[in-house]
Each structure stands twice: as structure tokens, then as C-alpha cells.
A and B are shown apart, each in its own frame.
Chain A
Amino acid sequence: MSIPAILAQRPTAASLLADITAGDTETRQRAIEQSVLVGTPLIVPLGRVMAGSDPAAGKAALEALRCVAHHCARPGAGAERATAARELLKLTEAAFPRHVRSEALMLLGCIGTAEHAPALARLLKDPQVQTDALMALQRIPGAAVDRALRNALTGAAQPLRGAIELALQARVRRFRRR
């Protein structure tokens, strides 16, 4: 097969989103697997599908989102990981429904870095996702995360204050093991 022919077969963000949104189960399975070929440009559009009213499309989008995020954090992925984290942060905005924000935060806990700590810490003030944000911060290594959590203690009322203190303790145990 010629290179142009191969390139012609390579999925695009638009083709994958169309398959995820309206395909049958087999088409969706294939689109999910191929989503890593397109990668980070899919993240926000997939979040929008998750936010939509079709649960089957939303589920396929969720699976694709997970595939893309984890793929972008593979060893040697380089800048892709940072790009993916930036895109996931967009899905944490209040314009998205809770289940999309929660999923994005769970994935940020897996692939986010200390540079995302301030943005995640700001979400501790959002009652809808503060626990998800706290759980994401627990996973991310780095002194900047500890600083962000300690800063968040200032002015935090209970029960959030206690939860942040617990998260700081959990981080000590988690990173002491390594």
C-alpha cells in the first residue's frame, strides 16, 4: 500500500468522533482503539460527547478519553502528556457536568504533574468536585502539590480542612514508599 493510501486510511478526529457518536458497537470499539492515533485533539470533543444525552455515545467517548489520556502518559511520550493534561483541565470547568469533571480529575490524578497543582487546588473551592480534586492531588508527586495543599488550608473551613490534612498525610505515606 502506498504512503498516501495509508495516510488516507488514517482516522481523523472528525471520523473518530462520528464513529463514537453514531457507530454501532463494533465501530465504536474500533474507534476507541484508534483514538490514540489522533490523541490530544480528541480530549475536549470527547468530553462534549460525554456531556450529551446519548448514554451509549457517552460511554464510548469515556472509554476513548481514558485510552487517549493513558496513552499520552506512556513512557517516552514527552510533551504529549503535558498537552493531554492541559486539555483535561478544560473538562474540569463548571460548564461540564459533574460526571465529566470527575472523570477528567481522575485522569489528571494519573497523568497530571506538579505544574497542574494550582489549577487543581482552585477546584477545592468548588463543592461539586472538591473531593475529586483532592483525590487527584493525592496522586501527583512533587513539593508544589504539597505547597498548594498547604495554601488551600488557609481559610478552609471544616470538613474541607480536615480532608486536606488527611490528603497531606496520605501523600507522606504514598511517597515515602517510593
Chain B
Amino acid sequence: MDGDSKLTRRELMGTAASLGIPAIIPSHVLGRQGRQGANDRIRIGVIGTGGMGQHHVAPDTVAICDVDDEHLANARRRITQGEPFMTKDFRRLLERKDVDAVIIATPDHWHGIMTVMACQAGKHVMCEKPTARTIAEGRAMVQAARKYNRVVQIHAQGRSNPNAHAACQFVRNGGIGTIKRVDVWHPVNFSTNSWGEEQPVPSTLDWDMWLGPLPWMPYHPLRCHFNFRWLMASGGGFIRDRGNHALSIVSWLTNTDDYKGLVTCEAKGQRHLTGFYDVPATMEVTWQFRDPDWTLTWSQPGKPNPRFPGDWGATYTGDRDDLIVLGGDGGCEVEQKAKEFKVPPGGVEIYKSPGHRENWLECIRTGKRPVMDVEIGHHVVTLCILGNIAWRLGRKVTFDFANERLVGDEEANRLIDEPYRPPWKLEV
């Protein structure tokens, strides 16, 4: 595809092409109470097919969307069963009746809008991490999932990793005693020597659609694919990216997904001054939870624990022992004592996910909540976002999880939500 006119033609062709794939009785006809039947095929569309998105495109994906033709072409090559619908505009994909569920793997600033609109269109959703760009978007995603009764899983897939599961059973059954602190370490954010001078937009890319709700900014490749991570407006740095993975495991092991109390958060870090990226080059964040009292830290660069070293991970310190868990995304390792642990009679048995995608599909069929339900994702990413808010403001903030408000800080509360560039809006 090379432009809007061709996009229109392709969309029309996609509609026709869908008639060529083997006849499928719509799932909503076969299923009961709005659910897919046990043997129905769940027809998946993927929105955002670069980066992580390309790995979500399966041979039988029925629709793909990306604002970059190159991503679309690459994704198309992964599809071997039937002719997928292809578009640069996710709204066209959401309109389709032959799509039951969508995987959203766009940059963060689209997650809220697309998840809400997908739920409104009757689609189940698996959304890449980080859950959302703002606390308000995360809440809107939860509201949409509940209002439209859709299964929304966040692709922070550590909760489907067997080693993370072993760690969780070990810790939840008192393997280290009462948790006093968790210290996460991670490499520093990326840097650049570029100043981001405006460059011509590649002919394959719809830059305005890539930006979507973000404030307008000139095109530069270091603002776009992958590199958007290093700008506060779009990416929020590693703390909101890998942090969503790492803190998901922390929240799971500490059994604090439902924490509704106060948490204080303070952050410091060196500013990136050799280029235009504006997430901090280094970052030290401390969250203090209450009742029970425990401390969570995030360190970039952090110091790997020499007992069980790894690129990134966390040390869980209890009043009897400690445990090191490495990673927390698709890759996760844990010390042997957790792997060897057997749950005693009457102990805490944690549900073991068959795989993140499999768990999501299973929940679409059963109507159950997935292991990384959007509400958990919202809770976890809120911690990450608080770290960035505290760093931006240069002061300690206190967040009230019950009311989702920052306590006694009017300016900080303005950062719970970000205004959207017109015509985009977030309405559940």
C-alpha cells in the first residue's frame, strides 16, 4: 500500500477476500450468552503489527492493521490460512463482523482508546503491556471491559510463566515469611545523541495516525517505532514498559492486586541531556505501602544480586528468607528452592495458566477472568505511572488506590489524565 487511495481499495478488496476463506459460522451464533462455544474458532485481528505485534500474527489471523505499510506487508507474510483483511485504520477492523477478538500491540498511547472502542464493538481484547499511558485510561479500559462484558487480558505474560508460578506459590505459602521489601533492578533507559530535527515522513507511514491522541510533534525515526519508549509523552521509559512486567510479578507474589490503601512514591534520576529523549537516563523509585507496611524499589541501573544474577529481576525479602526472581515477561527464572517447593495440604494453590494466549482464549469461551485481567493490569501500571509522575514533579506523591486520586497535590492530579489531540476522545 502506498497511500490513502490504495488503502481504500485494499479495504474493499479485503472485504471481498474474506468471502474466499472457508465458511465460518459466526461464533456469536453458536455460543451461548454472548460467549464462544467450546469448539468455535475465535477469529482474531491484530492491531499494530510491528515490534511485539508481529509475534501476535498467527497463520490464521483474519485481519491486520498498522499505520505503516511495511509492518502490514511483513505481517501478511506470516498469514498462511486465507486472505486477511488489511487496513491502516483500526476503526475499519473493529467494524468487521468476522473478527471476534483483537490483539492490540500498538504504542502505549493507543491502548486506552483502542481497547475501549474494541469493547464497544463487541470484541474481546488482549492488549500489550503497558496497560495504559495514564491512570485515567487504565480505569476507562476496566470500565469498558465490564460494561460491555468483554474479556480483556493484558499481555504482561509473566503470570503465565511456570517459574513465576512456582515463585508465587513459594512466597504465598510463606516461603520467605512476611514480605518486608521488594527491590527491582533494571538497566538504564536508552539514550541518543540526536536532537530530533524534523525529517520527511516515510511514504509508507501515516504519521498523523501514528501520533493519534499525542500532542503533535515533528516526525523523526527516533520518535517513532520502538524509540517512542524514550519520550515521556509516548513511552514513559523502561519503568512503564518492563516495569509493567516486573511489577506484575511483584503484585502477584505479594498478593496486592486488590490493594486499596495509600502508597507513597518518590523518584529521582539523572536527566538525559545529550539528546532529545526526555525520560530520565537513570531512575530510583521507592513506593511505601501501608498496613501491612512494606517497601518496593525500582533501580536503574540496579545491582543484580550476585547470588542469582540476571539482566533484570527482583529480590523479595521476607522476615525469614529471601527469594530472587529474574525477568517477569515471557522469560522468567527463579531460584531452585521455589521450583522444588510443594504446596502442603491446606496450602495456597495458585491457578496455573496454560499459556497467556491460551488462557485468554479459554476465558473468552468460559467467561472467566483471565490471569492478567485488565483491572490487574491497571493496578500494576498505576504504580509505574506514579513513578514517572513523582519524577516529573520532583516531589513525593501519595496515591489513594480506593479513590484513584493523589492526596493533597492538585497539580499531580492533573497528570492522572492526559488531554487528547483532536479528534480523539476516550468515552466508555
Are B419 and A135 interface neighbours, CB within 8 A? Answer: yes
Are A71 and B394 interface neighbours, CB within 8 A? Answer: yes
- Tell yes or no: B293 within 8 A of A by CB: no
Q: How large is the interface on B (under 10, 10 to 19, 20 to 34, 35 or more residues)?
A: 20 to 34
Complex Cα distance, B414 from A136, in Å, reads 11
B14 CB to closest chain A CB (Å) equals 29
B187 CB to closest chain A CB (Å) equals 20
Interface string of A121-148 (1 = CB under 8 A from B): 0000000000110111011100000000
- Tell yes or no: A170 within 8 A of B by CB: yes
B387 CB to closest chain A CB (Å) equals 15
Complex Cα distance, B278 from A67, in Å, reads 13
Question: In chain A between 38 and 78, which residues have their CB closer than 8 angstroms to a CB of chain B?
Answer: 55-56, 59-60, 62-63, 66-67, 70-71, 73-75
Cβ contact of B411, chosen from A67, A110, A132, cutoff 8 A: A110
A170 CB to closest chain B CB (Å) equals 6
Are B274 and A63 interface neighbours, CB within 8 A? Answer: no
- Tell yes or no: B216 within 8 A of A by CB: yes
- Closest Cβ neighbor of B421 among chain A residues: A131
- Tell yes or no: B415 within 8 A of A by CB: yes
Complex Cα distance, B139 from A163, in Å, reads 24
Are B422 and A178 interface neighbours, CB within 8 A? Answer: no
Are B274 and A138 interface neighbours, CB within 8 A? Answer: no
Are B425 and A169 interface neighbours, CB within 8 A? Answer: yes
Are B394 and A28 interface neighbours, CB within 8 A? Answer: no
Cβ contact of A163, chosen from B276, B393, B413, B423, cutoff 8 A: B423
- Tell yes or no: B17 within 8 A of A by CB: no
Across-interface contacts of B413 in A (CB, < 8 A)? 178
Are A131 and B417 interface neighbours, CB within 8 A? Answer: no
B206 CB to closest chain A CB (Å) equals 18
Are B273 and A70 interface neighbours, CB within 8 A? Answer: no
- Tell yes or no: B306 within 8 A of A by CB: no
Across-interface contacts of B427 in A (CB, < 8 A)? 169, 173
Are A25 and B425 interface neighbours, CB within 8 A? Answer: no
Across-interface contacts of A136 in B (CB, < 8 A)? 419
Across-interface contacts of A166 in B (CB, < 8 A)? 420, 422-423, 425
Residue with the highest number of chain B CB atoms closer than 10 Å, among A60, A139, A163: A139
Are B423 and A162 interface neighbours, CB within 8 A? Answer: yes
Across-interface contacts of B423 in A (CB, < 8 A)? 159, 162-163, 166
- Tell yes or no: A83 within 8 A of B by CB: no
- Tell yes or no: B215 within 8 A of A by CB: yes
Interface of A is mostly: helix
Across-interface contacts of B270 in A (CB, < 8 A)? 29
Are A135 and B421 interface neighbours, CB within 8 A? Answer: yes
- Tell yes or no: A32 within 8 A of B by CB: yes
- Tell yes or no: A92 within 8 A of B by CB: no
- Tell yes or no: B136 within 8 A of A by CB: yes
Are A59 and B273 interface neighbours, CB within 8 A? Answer: yes
Across-interface contacts of B35 in A (CB, < 8 A)? none
Are B422 and A109 interface neighbours, CB within 8 A? Answer: no
Are B414 and A109 interface neighbours, CB within 8 A? Answer: yes
Across-interface contacts of A173 in B (CB, < 8 A)? 426-427
Are A170 and B425 interface neighbours, CB within 8 A? Answer: yes
Are B405 and A178 interface neighbours, CB within 8 A? Answer: yes
B212 CB to closest chain A CB (Å) equals 13
Across-interface contacts of A67 in B (CB, < 8 A)? 394
Across-interface contacts of A66 in B (CB, < 8 A)? 392
Across-interface contacts of B273 in A (CB, < 8 A)? 25, 28-29, 56, 59-60, 63
Given contacts A70-B392, A106-B215, contact A163 B411 (CB under 8 A): no
Across-interface contacts of B216 in A (CB, < 8 A)? 131
Across-interface contacts of A70 in B (CB, < 8 A)? 392-395, 411
Are A131 and B215 interface neighbours, CB within 8 A? Answer: yes
- Tell yes or no: B292 within 8 A of A by CB: no
Complex Cα distance, B420 from A139, in Å, reads 10
Across-interface contacts of B414 in A (CB, < 8 A)? 109-110, 139-140
B427 CB to closest chain A CB (Å) equals 7
Cβ contact of B408, chosen from A36, A75, A106, A169, cutoff 8 A: A75
B interface residues (Cβ-Cβ under 8 A, vs A): 136, 139, 195, 215-216, 270-271, 273-276, 278, 392-395, 404-405, 408-411, 413-415, 417, 419-423, 425-427
Q: Which 5 A-B pairs have the closest CB atoms?
A: A163-B422, A138-B419, A135-B419, A55-B195, A73-B411
Question: What are 9 A-B contacts with C-beta separation under 8 Å?
Answer: A25-B273, A66-B392, A132-B215, A134-B422, A135-B421, A163-B422, A170-B419, A170-B426, A177-B136
